[in-house]
């Protein structure tokens, strides 16, 4: 600063001389180019109107303009209106007072910012004319930057000085050579036991009288003058004879010296107990935390002497050009020793390992720097610590500060040196991190949307960042940055609360946080989250300066309001539910409970439930006189849900004084938004009445099932009781019809047969309908051919069709599979009902049946059946009802057609159970067509149709058939018909008799009645099978049951097939022939 002031004063003096010369010449402005233009600093001349008249080349260069181009310019054009206004104020002051006037200003030219020192004075080149303003400008940007850096450096040094644990005294050399005491850190006052604050600025020997006696004044003066360093160990000060200090003096700037001292009394006491000289040195060397390395440089010295002897003057250049010379020097270095701190720094496990690593420790540039420092030490030059990059044994990179010094006793020869190392890696990394952190902070502050403020609480003035203004819709600086300006924008309803909150925060702590509304430029209210921290207080603790931020939380407030609305809506909805809803934390404490649960807990309105647990409410209920008894499931289920993370559902019974309560309870885990399990949620529904109703339904269901079983048993018995005599009637009629009869007798017999079959059809319809209604119905799976099935059905109606003189035909599509799998008996039943109705209601024309292959479907095959006739048709009004049970097209008392009305209803049920559909198309007096689709399966290997199989070869001997039947009529009928068919028939009256006959005789087939007194047919079959031991005589069941599960039970008992009574004798003969043929093949 002193030299700068001197330069400015010198420039003022020179400018005045030049102005005097100009005024003495009396020439015009143009003559200034010869005198003033020679100045190396920028010069500008303006007229009294403050327009630019002339500027020298230096001025043009500074403004980045062409030489000689300044005339006619204005300050507004060059510097802008705001800067021009300030410059003109100074110009007018010079015109008014005559000057000179000096000031500093920061201006921008091009893309660069300049800190300028300006000196203005008045110039009268012509006495009768207006004077000119002459300005001399000097760029002091670098100087001011250096001053700021110096000030920051001093501040950093001051912080280090205040915080270092070592004592430091600062001295400055006066011009007269006196040593002035200037400063001391707190550690120094603590170590010396003196308060030196009031002694600063005094002569050093008056502050510390013993300095002269110890010769320290001259030593410190020499350090200040020469820049050398001085240190001593174990110094005793006379005023502190019991203490020893290590003292180190060094120059910190020209004429200034710092003395660093450390109380080493205890270390000296320990050292006195050790060996003197080498032992003491070795102990200090090995225990020092500073890495140190001792080297024998005698080989390096010899090689350097050889190079000098060979005429090499510039050793560094020579070695740089011949790198092998440097490698040879490194090889000649011998390690004398290194301390543990050095080994740790090098990551070496032994001295040998560290010694072997020396040639790999430094790269070539670092080795050259080491050589350069050693050469400086040889020349007697000051060798300052220097930074080099090094590599540890394990390959880690380090930046170390090294310092060369000769070992004691080797100062002249320099053949042994001590290398002191400071690992600067972490410090440099920390400095880099600080720099990067500061840069990040700067970028964050420039990019953040939060407003930053800095409040001087004494003046009320503040700093508001640009974001502070923009979040309210203002331009930066559009309103004053003061406390009052802020307060004026705060919502009136929030003002007192906000101010009180801030005051409370400032009085009781260093931080505060509050929310309030501020008026934006558009007039809308913006919610602000204000945070602040006290960063400076006075001696009484009153806050002087506070900094903080403003964040726009309007959107957050809106979300909070919406969440509150949703919460209120949820609670309102939950409170209007009859079910109980709740949430608990992981400790079982309630987080939420709706009104239904609170009522169940007998809580009063407004009574708080949150934070309570089930034990609390159980105890509370007991205090009210109630004695609840819980099963404990609610506690166990809470633990299960928390442990597994899976929902739980169970029924909980509560025994209360007013009765037993049953609840359907559901619980699920409760997670927060991060997926962490924080509790459980549950719902409980009072199902007491439901459970009671279910119990009633169970009892009703059991009663109904009992009734169904009774009904099924009744139907089974009725089926047997009806079918057995029917079998005898129809059998005898068929036998009679096979005898020679005249025409009238034949007509009687056939009429009786037709009536019997009609009665059997009615019985079958009633039994089938009953089974379908009770669910006692199943479908069989067996192979059959559609040709055979349709031919059999139509043959049954051939006599009726012939008598009515109507045609009866069937057709199977050529692509129909020959063999299908399904319930052939039910398919026959469908066709019997449809064809029977068609024949019944047709008086002329024909009845046709067609089967089509509709293609594969669901792993099987879909077939279509069409039964059409040219009969009376069905009125359109009855088309939707003909498939309903007990419904007939003609339902009057005088109806022409007989029947139960169950046939089509049974057909529809059978078709639907077989995976198909049923539809009808009819026109009254024109005819009817009924369409059915059925889903059937295909065998793995198709076989030829049954009608293509060759008939079984006639046996060489009559086949023997055993007929087991307890009913005499049925036994006689069956025996007589089989004998007419060529079989040798033997009869048994009971199951026991059949078992006895089979044990001694061989039969080709057995016809076994199922229901017999004593041993029934299934028991007899099992006995026969047990006695046969592999013969497997075919057994065909004869049953009048025909109920659900019959076929499965018969097959399980060992039977090969069954036939339902009453029997068509032709079908009976065919069943026997098939059974014998199958038995022979197996």
Strands (E), 589-641: 590-593, 629-630
Of 301 and 16, more confident: 301
| Cα–Cα distance measured from residue 577 to residue 575, given in angstroms and rounded to the nearest whole number | 6
Domains, the chain: 1-139 (3.30.450.20), 164-268 (3.30.450.20), 330-433 (3.30.450), 451-558 (3.30.450.20), 566-692 (3.30.450.20), 778-888+900-937 (3.30.565.10), 960-1079 (3.40.50.2300)
Highest-pLDDT range among 266-275, 913-922, 1046-1055: 913-922
Q: How far is CA 924 from the centre of its chain?
A: 71
Q: What is the mean pLDDT of the chain?
A: 81
213-240 pLDDT, tens digit each? 888 889 999 998 898 999 998 888 888 8
637-644: list long-range contacts, CB under 8 Å, 24+ apart: 637/665, 637/667, 638/584, 638/588, 638/667, 638/680, 641/667, 641/668, 641/669, 641/680, 642/586, 642/669, 642/677, 642/679, 642/680
Specify whether the backbone of 94 is left (phi greater than 0), alpha (psi in -120 to 50) or beta.
alpha
- Who has greater pLDDT, 624 or 891? 624
Higher-confidence residue: 654 or 76? 76
Residue 523: predicted pLDDT: 93
Confidence of residue 950 (pLDDT cuts 50, 70, 90): very low
In this predicted model, which residue has the larger pLDDT, 1006 or 617?
1006
Q: pLDDT, tens digit, for every residue of 11-26?
A: 656 665 665 665 565 5
Mean pLDDT of 290-298: 85
The tens digit of pLDDT for each residue in 375-385 reads: 888 888 888 88
pLDDT at 994: 92
Range name among 274-283, 736-745, 834-843, 1030-1039 with the lowest pLDDT average: 274-283
DSSP lists the bridge partners of residue 27 as none
| Residue 913: closest CA among 940, 885, 933 | 933
Q: What is the pTM of this model?
A: 0.32
Residue 440 to residue 438: CA distance in whole angstroms:
5
Output DSSP code: residue 959. Answer: P
pLDDT of residue 19: 57
Which tokens go with 344?
Answer: 């740790």
CB 682, CB 667: distance < 8 Å? yes
Look at residue 180 in the predicted model and tell me its pLDDT: 92
Least confident of 23-32, 461-470, 569-578, 801-810: 23-32
Cα–Cα distances in angstroms (integers) from residue 354 to residues 350, 358, 393, 417, 1037, in the given order: 6, 7, 7, 17, 107
* The pLDDT of residue 719: 64
Token duo for residue 496: 């007192």
Q: Tell me: the pLDDT tens digits for 721-744?
A: 776 777 777 777 777 777 888 877
Instruction: Please say if the pLDDT value at position 569 is more than 90.
Output: no
Please give the average per-residue pLDDT across 316-320, as a whole number: 89
What percent of the chain has a predicted confidence (pLDDT) above 90?
A: 15
Mean pLDDT of 896-905: 53
Higher pLDDT, 922 or 33: 922
- Range 195-212 average pLDDT: 85
Highest mean pLDDT among 112-121, 502-511, 804-813: 804-813
The residues, any chain, with a CB within 8 Å of residue 770's CB and separated by 6 or more, are 711, 715, 776
**What local confidence, expressed as pLDDT, does residue 446 receive?**
64
pLDDT band for position 337 (cuts 50, 70, 90): confident
1036 vs 1050: CA distance, rounded Å:
9
What mean pLDDT is predicted for residues 829-849?
90
Q: Please name the helix (run of DSSP H) or strand (run of DSSP E) that holds residue 416, with its range, or none.
A: strand 416-423
Tell me the C-alpha to C-alpha distance, in Å, between residue 593 and each of 589, 622, 628, 650, 682: 11, 20, 20, 19, 10
- The backbone region for 606, taken as left when phi is positive above 0, alpha when psi lies in -120 to 50, beta otherwise, is left
pLDDT of residue 775: 58
- Nearest CA to 119 out of 42, 66, 32, 26 is that of 42
**How does strand 1005-1009 pair with strand 543-552?**
unpaired
- Reported confidence tier of residue 349, pLDDT bands at 50, 70, 90: confident
- Span 618-625, average pLDDT: 69
The more confident residue out of 796 and 708 is: 796
pLDDT above 70 covers a percentage of the chain that reads 83
Q: For the chain, first and last CA: distance in Å?
A: 129
Whole-number pLDDT of residue 889 = 45
The pLDDT assigned to 30 comes to: 57
Kindly indicate the confidence band of residue 528, based on its pLDDT and cuts at 50, 70 and 90: very high
pLDDT in tens, 981-993: 889 999 999 999 9
């Amino acid at each position: 600063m002193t030299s700068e002031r001197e330069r400015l004063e010198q420039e003022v003096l020179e400018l005045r001389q030049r102005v005097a010369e100009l005024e003495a010449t009396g020439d015009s402005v143009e003559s200034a180019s010869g005198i003033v233009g020679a100045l190396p600093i920028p010069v500008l001349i303006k007229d009294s109107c403050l327009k630019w008249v002339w500027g020298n080349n230096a001025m043009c260069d500074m403004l980045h303009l062409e030489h000689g181009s300044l005339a006619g310019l204005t300050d507004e054009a060059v510097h802008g209106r705001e800067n021009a206004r300030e410059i003109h104020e100074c110009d007018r002051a010079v015109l008014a007072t005559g000057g000179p006037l000096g000031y500093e200003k920061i201006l921008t030219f091009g893309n660069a910012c300049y800190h300028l020192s300006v000196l203005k004075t008045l110039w009268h080149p012509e006495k009768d004319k207006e004077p000119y303003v002459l300005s001399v400008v000097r760029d002091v940007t670098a100087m001011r930057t250096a001053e700021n850096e110096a000030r920051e450096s001093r501040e950093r040094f001051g912080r280090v000085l205040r915080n270092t644990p070592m004592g430091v005294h600062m001295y400055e050399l006066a011009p007269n050579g006196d040593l002035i005491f200037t400063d001391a850190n707190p550690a120094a006052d603590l170590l010396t036991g003196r308060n030196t604050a009031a002694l600063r600025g005094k002569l050093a020997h008056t502050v510390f009288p013993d300095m002269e006696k110890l010769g320290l004044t001259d030593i410190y003066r020499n350090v200040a003058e020469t820049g050398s360093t001085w240190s001593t160990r174990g110094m005793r000060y006379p005023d502190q004879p019991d203490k020893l200090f290590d003292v180190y003096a060094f120059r910190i700037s020209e004429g200034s010296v710092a003395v660093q001292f450390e109380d080493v009394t205890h270390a000296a006491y320990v050292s006195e107990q050790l060996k003197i000289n080498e032992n003491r040195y070795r102990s200090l060397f090995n225990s020092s935390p500073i890495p140190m390395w001792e080297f024998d440089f005698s080989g390096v010295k010899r090689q350097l002497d050889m190079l000098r002897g060979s005429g090499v003057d510039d050793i560094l250049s020579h070695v740089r050009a011949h790198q092998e010379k440097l490698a040879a020097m490194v090889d000649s270095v011998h390690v004398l020793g290194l301390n543990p701190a050095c080994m740790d720094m090098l990551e070496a496990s032994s001295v040998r390992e560290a010694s072997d690593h020396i040639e790999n420790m430094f790269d070539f540039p670092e080795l050259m720097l080491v050589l350069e420092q050693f050469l400086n030490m040889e020349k007697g030059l000051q060798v300052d610590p220097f930074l080099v990059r090094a590599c540890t044994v394990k390959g880690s990179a380090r930046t170390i500060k090294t310092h060369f010094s000769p070992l004691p006793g080797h100062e002249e020869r320099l053949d042994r040196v001590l290398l002191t190392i400071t690992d600067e890696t972490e410090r440099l990394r920390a400095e880099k991190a600080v720099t990067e952190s500061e840069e990040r902070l700067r970028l964050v502050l420039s990019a953040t949307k939060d407003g930053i403020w800095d409040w001087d609480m004494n003046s009320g003035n503040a700093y508001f960042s640009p974001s502070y203004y923009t979040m309210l819709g203002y331009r930066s600086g559009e309103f004053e940055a003061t406390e009052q300006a802020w307060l004026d924008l705060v919502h009136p309803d929030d003002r007192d609360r906000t101010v009180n909150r801030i005051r409370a925060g400032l009085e009781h702590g260093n931080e505060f946080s509050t929310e309030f509304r501020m008026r934006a430029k558009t007039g809308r209210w913006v919610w602000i989250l204000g945070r602040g921290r006290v960063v400076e207080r006075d001696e009484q603790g009153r806050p002087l300066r506070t900094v903080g931020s403003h964040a726009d939380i309007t959107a957050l407030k809106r979300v909070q309001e919406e969440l509150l609305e949703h919460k209120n809506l949820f609670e309102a909805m939950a409170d209007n539910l009859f079910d109980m809803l709740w949430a608990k934390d992981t400790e079982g404490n309630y987080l939420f409970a709706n009104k239904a649960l609170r009522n169940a807990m007998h809580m009063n309105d407004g009574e708080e439930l949150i934070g309570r647990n089930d034990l609390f409410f159980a105890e509370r209920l007991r205090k009210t006189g109630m004695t609840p008894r819980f099963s404990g499931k609610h506690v166990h289920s809470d633990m299960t849900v928390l442990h597994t993370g899976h929902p739980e559902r169970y029924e909980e019974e509560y025994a209360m004084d007013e009765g037993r309560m049953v609840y359907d309870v559901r619980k699920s885990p409760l997670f927060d938004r991060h997926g962490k399990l924080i509790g459980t949620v549950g719902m409980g529904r009072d199902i007491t009445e439901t459970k009671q109703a279910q119990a009633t339904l169970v009892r009703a269901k059991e009663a109904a099932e009992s009734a169904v079983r009774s009904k099924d048993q009744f139907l089974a018995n009725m089926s047997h009781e009806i079918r057995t005599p029917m079998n005898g009637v129809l059998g005898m009629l068929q036998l009679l019809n096979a005898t020679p009869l005249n025409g009238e007798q034949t007509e009687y017999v056939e009429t009786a047969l037709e009536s019997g079959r009609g009665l059997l059809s009615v019985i079958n319809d009633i039994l089938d309908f009953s089974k379908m209604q009770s669910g006692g119905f199943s479908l069989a799976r067996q192979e059959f051919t559609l040709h055979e099935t349709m031919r059999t059905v139509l043959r049954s109606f051939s006599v009726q069709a012939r008598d009515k003189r109507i045609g009866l035909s069937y057709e199977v599509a050529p692509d129909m599979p020959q063999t299908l799998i399904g319930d052939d008996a039910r398919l026959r039943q469908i066709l019997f009902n449809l064809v029977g109705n068609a024949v019944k209601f047709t008086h002329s024309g024909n009845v046709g049946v067609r089967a089509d292959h509709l293609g594969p479907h669901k792993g099987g095959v879909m077939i279509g059946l069409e039964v059409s006739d040219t009969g009376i048709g069905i009125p359109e009004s009855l088309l939707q009802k003909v498939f309903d049970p007990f419904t007939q097209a003609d339902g009057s008392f005088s109806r022409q057609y007989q029947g139960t009305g169950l046939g089509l209803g049974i057909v529809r049920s059978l078709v639907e159970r077989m995976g198909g559909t049923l539809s009808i198309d009819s026109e009254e007096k024109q005819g009817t067509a009924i369409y059915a689709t059925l889903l059937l399966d295909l065998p793995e290997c198709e076989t030829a149709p049954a009608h293509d199989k060759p008939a079984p070869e006639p046996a060489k001997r009559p086949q023997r058939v055993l007929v087991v039947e307890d009913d005499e009529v049925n036994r006689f009928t069956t025996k007589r018909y089989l004998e007419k068919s060529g079989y040798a028939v033997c009869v048994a009256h009971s199951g026991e008799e059949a078992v006895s006959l089979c044990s001694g005789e061989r039969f080709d087939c057995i016809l076994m009645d199922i229901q017999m007194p004593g041993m029934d047919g299934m028991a007899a079959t099992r006995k026969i099978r047990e006695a046969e031991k592999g013969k497997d005589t075919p057994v065909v069941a004869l049953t009048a049951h025909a109920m659900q599960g019959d076929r499965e039970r018969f097959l399980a008992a060992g039977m090969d097939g069954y036939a339902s009574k009453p029997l068509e004798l032709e079908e009976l003969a065919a069943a026997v022939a098939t059974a014998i043929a199958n038995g022979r093949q197996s």
